[in-house]
Amino acid sequence: MPGVTGPSDYSREPPRHPSLKINAKEPFNAEPPRSALGAAYVTPVEFFYKRNHGPIPVVDDVHSYSVSITGLIENPKQLFLNDIRALPKYNVTATLQCAGNRRTAMSQTRTVKGVGWDVSAIGNAVWGGAKLADVLELVGISKLTGATKSGGKHVEFVSVDRCKEENGGPYKASIPLIQATSPEADVLLAYEMNGEGFFMQKDYKMFPPSVNWDNINWSTRRPQMDFPVQCVICSLEDVNAIKPGKVKVSGYAASGGGRGIERVDVSVDGGNTWVEASRHQKTGIPYIAEATCSDKWAWVLFEALVDVQQSTQIVAKAVDSAANVQPEKVEDIWNLRGILNTSWHRVQVRVGHSNL
């Protein structure tokens, strides 16, 4: 399992953009305004959401950090940044999303546990680094390996950070070894974000609405490793005052597992009738779900021009390339951890002529 070691300075705070909405100060968790997400296909680093489980170290000398690969393997090894940079470099455009994105909307149905995220705990970036499959080959694990000779079946990532929720221990996460060793999976040990250097047993599991904190059994569910289809309107806040007439409705849509976005539908009458939005990733290149020219791990931006003549509810829903569609109501997918709110996104708008 890879574990990171190195000197960390927790006495200084890293710089942060003043427009970030702070959801928790210690540990620091914040999200950008939704308008910032819809403004660019690649999210600037300063507008990327901040999700932390422990204090944030300021790293002055990244070359002094190392990754130790140990566990159920034959040849443990300690790697420094120069060792990893010596491997072939790959750039992958991919969307990261906190499982608790849109948790505040779920809390309106029934109270849930977790950081109160609005709709911006998500971002799209170009990640640069070595493929984890290449890194694991350095310790004798071949491509497309499902288990080591010693019986190891997962790659566990152990942070240098220490977290209160882990009783002072490090934060951990894991993925199956067969995924880590697959070149097609595009799993990176990333050391760049947009060209700049820079716990899974009892958390992030999806339970039905009938489960509460009195009857929960964590062992009955697997950790959430993928994300259902999702879309959010970023061009309008709730509640916006607008003039009657044409209104641009735009935002992001994403699905897990490398699935593309087949369609985004927009309604201006609360979901009774729909129009299809246009979709794009790169400027000047038509987006086609599953096409080789499309970034399969990244979000898709959508846009529709609709006619709004009276105060109403504008709704958006997406369909991915496997024909998965977002559920209509948040009540149907409510869960006590408040994760995976992928219900139709709704924005109330008020149409009027005064003070506009």
DSSP 150: T
Cα diameter, the chain: 73
Q: Which of 20, 19, 80, 92 shows the shortest CA–CA distance to 52? A: 20
Please tell me the distance from the alpha carbon of residue 202 to that of residue 39, in angstroms, as a whole number. 36
Q: Are 139 and 77 in contact (CB under 8 A)?
A: yes
Q: Are 124 and 95 in contact (CB under 8 A)?
A: yes
Q: Which of 56, 73, 79, 27 shows the shortest CA–CA distance to 159? A: 56
Please tell me the distance from the alpha carbon of residue 326 to that of residue 336, in angstroms, as a whole number. 19
Residue 353: its pLDDT value, please?
A: 63
Q: Are 121 and 51 in contact (CB under 8 A)?
A: yes
Q: Are 144 and 181 in contact (CB under 8 A)?
A: yes
Tens place of pLDDT per residue across the chain (356 aa): 676 666 666 667 778 999 999 999 989 999 999 999 989 999 999 999 999 998 877 777 788 889 999 999 999 999 999 999 999 999 999 999 999 999 999 999 999 989 999 999 999 999 999 999 999 999 999 999 999 999 999 999 998 888 888 888 998 999 999 999 999 999 999 999 999 876 445 566 778 888 887 888 878 877 776 789 999 999 999 877 999 999 999 999 999 999 999 999 999 999 999 999 999 999 888 899 989 899 999 999 999 999 999 999 999 999 999 999 999 999 999 988 889 899 999 999 999 865 54
DSSP 232: E
Q: Which two tokens stand for residue 1?
A: 């399992």
Residue 152: its pLDDT value, please?
A: 96
Please tell me the distance from the alpha carbon of residue 100 to that of residue 121, in angstroms, as a whole number. 8
Please tell me the distance from the alpha carbon of residue 101 to that of residue 287, in angstroms, as a whole number. 25
Amino acid (one-letter) located at 23: N
